[in-house]
Amino acid sequence: MRFSLSFGIVVGLLVIARGPVVRGADPSTATLAHIRLHGDLDEAPTAEDPIFGTAAENFQSKLDRIRKAERDKNINGLFLHIDGLEIGWGKLHELRHAIAHFRQAGKKAYAYFESGDTKDYLLAIACDEVCIPESGWLLLTGMRAEVSFYKDLLDKIGVKADMLQMGSYKGSGEVLTQNHMSPQFRERLVSVLDDHFDKDLVELIVESRAKQKWNSDQVKKLIDQGPFTGKAAAAAGLIDRVAYRDQYEEDLKKEFKVDQIKISKNYGQAKEEELDLSNPFAIFKLLKPPKKSTTNGPSIAVIYATGVIVSGKGGDGLLGGKAVGSRRPGEKACAPILVDVGRETVNEHYGFSLALHDVVDFHAVGIEELVLCPKRIRSTG
């Protein structure tokens, strides 16, 4: 025991005399979740193809990935790559809400796009920083509306539209009976544009760019000066940084005070199963049916009503459109059921059609509760 104690003291003295042993440590790293937003972000569930694999992600998948990054302790921030969005106001506000929730968790969000229009920009300014390259453009030019009239065309082919207009402001039929806007039609359209311009554009910019301390009149003057180059947008205070992506990633090192920035590309995106073509039996994997998620606990059934609601059976149209049939899928009771009403179902076709009454007649099939979730309902014309 004495020998062991003496030996330990001698070794300890030798280590102190030589000083601490320096080992090569890994550089500190900050990891950002990369999520690319592109296109119209369809709301319908994605279908799995046995040959070509899973289809592109839907809108809900994007929201789920943002929420996953929010809860992931290994993720330090969000890198949002905006690449040509074609979405409506409802989806825009849902994405902004998801980003705001992410930031409330104490993590920063960074937006990057090469060129973007108004809705791209409104989504980007929901983040802590907005960056575009020097060669990029910010196409912030306000709002416009265009209406096509077909009366002259119908006259040439000998067709007359027989429309009954209920009220001077219910002018949706004017596109077939007139060749120009009536004063009431123009007044209604201008009021809708003014409302979107003031609430969905100017007010959002004032709130999102609070550090600039702009008022509404100042933002309107900036919009009148658009579009902007990258440098011009930065000089005006509309964006925070002008840099190409590799430069931006280098700048973020200083932001996080780390030696390395790791961009987790396509974070949270479901990966397709790779097929070993060298194995002749691998072809049987293509015939394997997709796995269905099941649960034993309480659940909520979600029906995506995306498309025009028509009587009878729904399906895909000849030109690629979708139609939601009023025929109920089954007689089995469930509780509750959530109907996610997409923008094509309600917003783009002036309200609920007559066939929707069959869809919401849920008491006939024993459904205890039904909740309709329209993205944005527009008044009928």
- Is 164 found in the same domain as 133? no
Q: What is the CATH number of the domain that holds 47?
A: 3.90.226.10
Tens-place pLDDT, residues 191-218:
999 999 999 999 999 999 999 999 999 9
- Is 120 found in the same domain as 65? yes
- Per cent of the chain over pLDDT 70 is 62
- Residue 329's pLDDT is 46
What's the alpha-carbon Rg for the chain, to the nearest Å?
28
Q: Looking at the domain assignment, is residue 285 inside a domain?
A: no
Q: Looking at the domain assignment, is residue 184 inside a domain?
A: yes
- Residue 77's pLDDT is 94
- Is 107 found in the same domain as 51? yes
**What is d(CA 235, CA 54) in angstroms, rounded to the nearest whole number?**
44
Does the pLDDT value for residue 301 go beyond 90? Answer: no
Instruction: Between 251 and 2, name the one with better pLDDT.
Output: 251
Does the pLDDT value for residue 327 go beyond 50? Answer: no
Does the pLDDT value for residue 19 go beyond 80? Answer: no
Q: Looking at the domain assignment, is residue 21 inside a domain?
A: no
- Is 338 found in the same domain as 260? no
- Is 233 found in the same domain as 98? yes
**What is d(CA 187, CA 199) in angstroms, rounded to the nearest whole number?**
18
- Residue 8's pLDDT is 43
- Is 361 found in the same domain as 318? yes
- Residue 309's pLDDT is 59
Domain boundaries, position 347: 301-374
- Is 165 found in the same domain as 248? no
Mean pLDDT along residues 181-194: 92
- Is 179 found in the same domain as 105? no
- Is 251 found in the same domain as 115? yes
Please identify which residue in the block is written with the tokens 């996610």.
340
What's the pTM value of the predicted model, to 2 decimals?
A: 0.73
Q: Which of 327, 318, 359, 322 is nearest to 344 (CA)?
A: 322
- Residue 294's pLDDT is 67
Q: Looking at the domain assignment, is residue 280 inside a domain?
A: no
Q: Looking at the domain assignment, is residue 5 inside a domain?
A: no
- Residue 57's pLDDT is 80
Label residue 135 exposed, middle or buried (CB < 10 Å: 0-12, 13-18, 19+).
exposed
Mean pLDDT along residues 91-97: 94
Q: Looking at the domain assignment, is residue 289 inside a domain?
A: no
The answer to whether the CB of 126 falls within 8 A of the CB of 109 is yes
The most confident of the ranges 120-124, 257-261, 304-308 is: 120-124
DSSP category for residue 37: E
- Is 112 found in the same domain as 46? yes
Q: Which stretch of 136-145, 179-188, 224-233, 320-329 has the lowest confidence by average pLDDT?
A: 320-329
- Is 117 found in the same domain as 55? yes
* Number of structural domains in the chain: 3
Tens-place pLDDT, residues 20-76:
333 233 458 899 999 999 998 888 777 655 455 555 688 889 999 999 999 999 999
Tens-place pLDDT, residues 242-293:
999 999 999 999 889 898 999 999 998 877 655 556 666 665 565 566 566 6
Mean pLDDT along residues 73-96: 92
- Is 362 found in the same domain as 240? no
- Per cent of the chain over pLDDT 90 is 46
Q: Looking at the domain assignment, is residue 218 inside a domain?
A: no
Q: Looking at the domain assignment, is residue 305 inside a domain?
A: yes
